[in-house]
Amino acid sequence: MGPGRRACVDGSEKTIPSRFKRSQDHHEAYLRLIRLELDDELAMTEERLRNWSEKKLEANGIALFGLNAKTDGWLFGQQIIRLRLGSGKNLGSHRFRQGDIVMLSRSNPLTERPIEAIVSNRNRNSIRVVLPEAPQGLRKGTWRIDRGANRVAFDRMRDALNSIFEEDGSAPMRELLLGLVHDPEGTASLIPEMGGAKQTRVPLPSDFNRTQRYAAESAINRRLTLIQGPPGTGKTHTAVRILENWAIQDTGTVLAVADSNVAVDNLLEGLLERGVRAVRLGQPVKVRESLRVATMDARMESHELNKELIEEIERNEKLSRRIKGMRGGKEKGLAHRDLSRGWKEVKRLESQIRDDILDRAQVLCCTCIGSGHVLLDGRRFSRVLLDEATQATEPAALVPLVKGARQIVLVGDHRQLPPTVISRRAEAGGLGRSLFERLVDMGITPLLLNTQYRMHPSISEFPNSQFYGGMLEDGVSESEREAPPGMLWPDWDAPLSFLPVDGDELLSPDGASKENAAEAAWVVKILMGFVDEGGLELTDIGIVTPYAGQVRAIRDMLPETMQGVEVRTVDGYQGREKDVIIFSCVRSNSDGNVGFLSDRRRLNVALTRSRRGLVVIGNPDTLRNDVNWRAWIEHVRSRKLEAWHLLGTA
């Protein structure tokens, strides 16, 4: 929302300005919004548990029942539990994904104390979760699993808001971030005050293009830099090189964050490839398997003091077992004293190891919320880079920024999807606007990366003109992105196709989403064409749709041999890319209602995930009722890219 825009929250008009006159106004506004977000998430969870039947919960993909459980190894000291149905039955469609917080219970998490766990991975027949230790009687009876709410995120966002409000020295950039300065753009461009640390000039890489170099130079020399990276323009590559440059300057540990674990892993991967000493903070289960060697847990296991730590733990456990067999008296009292001292020594060693790892790290990588971990209490990071900044709510973005940041780089694209907000009240109140976008509205100009290296030029043409005013250039040629076989493209020089399908949209069984069986069938048919031709692997193809109901409908229709293909909603595909994308629009009705397909940012993301081929399936009569989709249909028709021939009506 701009400075003059208002939204109704809790029945009254509230204003979220671009610039604040008082820090108190910022504090009160965002504290109210994150409370709404938590309250509505908890209320929604409780309402479903109280009022929904098991059948409805299962159909909605947010609960599974009658699961057998057994231990399945360890992950950095945490127990892995495998959950599956009897006789290895298919779990069906559900929404549990790696890193999700879940609740384990016997019958109902409302009437018993549930066990919190984190999803490790999943397949058709089982879900693996991790937790500190296996519960008693794990293999007796059955279990249910439910989605859980994230109270930790609320606590850390509240603490960040309190910190920037109280002006306690933890937020040197406070005045600028809140818009309390006279000239935000001018203040942002000033040389950063690094607290006495001397900056050294380090050459930038030669593989930068012109706009990447300019953005990186600005980021290194300014207090606050916004870098706008449209799809495929190398914003993560640019971010990694900025972080590398900072690391070489050696002015203290750099903090590199993003809203999602996937985005953090992308930064971490790039840093490790460049030889930067990077450490990943967070649950190892949420980290890409190939990168877990860089987690704090893995670093602790390989530390030179770890052997001493393990020996101390084993001595304490042995003494604890001895104490159980002792009678009372002086000897038992002395043993308890020794045990207490022993566990204090364990804590001291653990703390020493962690501090040593953090002190040696050039870059610390974690999520925005993860940066609020108690492990970082008291530590200050003068340089902070936030990737995918437009996907983080402002309170989430502030969690890393109130740890002493004197130089800040925000990398994102406000033309793509905004932060995910569960509460409609909080979204209406302005929580869906990122800090990046508010700073743009404040008058700080983002630096545009203008060369895209992902898409075939025919695929980039429409989003470039429709969403970026024709400012993007193609960094790849048609010959570098040859049309993939397995599809009868209307024009083999332009691997872009719109398949007009007049199917019926239906309400999903859960009553909360949409699906379209005719489009789902075509998705599978087109997928089989690509796979049968042999030129592409399943991992090269992505299936995208706006609706979770259609995700489940497509997965249910896929043959066993094709279950390896990735099927996600648009929101789950931001930041991702594939050689081929098949997109199902779903909406098909006589009212011309396109639902949230009308969000131009969602359309931008949907149309920019593919490198070599894009197939869009939808009902043109319905889609034409939206101005952006009408422009898309006119675009493909003017270039004769409709695939009528596949329908047998050419």
State residue 604's pLDDT score: 95
492-533: pLDDT as tens digits: 999 999 999 999 999 887 677 899 999 999 999 999 999 988
**Rounded to two decimals, what is the model's pTM?**
0.86
- Three-state DSSP at 397 gives helix
Residue whose entry in the numeric block shows the structure tokens 């990077």: 278
Report the 10 Å Cβ neighbour count for 485. 16
59-118: pLDDT as tens digits: 878 899 999 999 988 777 788 899 999 877 888 778 787 778 899 999 888 889 899 888
Residue with the larger pLDDT of the pair 372 and 8: 372
Sheet strand arrangement including 541-545: 496-500, 610-618, 578-584, 541-545, 566-569
311-332: pLDDT as tens digits: 888 888 888 888 877 877 778 8
Question: How would residue 333 be classed by pLDDT, with cut points 50, 70 and 90?
Answer: confident
Output 272-278 pairs: Cβ under 8 A, ≥24 positions apart.
274/240, 274/241, 274/244, 276/243, 276/244, 276/247, 276/362, 276/363, 277/247, 277/360, 277/361, 277/362, 277/363, 278/361, 278/362, 278/363, 278/364, 278/365
**Average pLDDT score over residue span 201-216:** 85
Query: Quick one: which of 266, 191, 247 has its CA closest to 223?
Result: 191
Rounded CA separation 650/642 (Å): 10
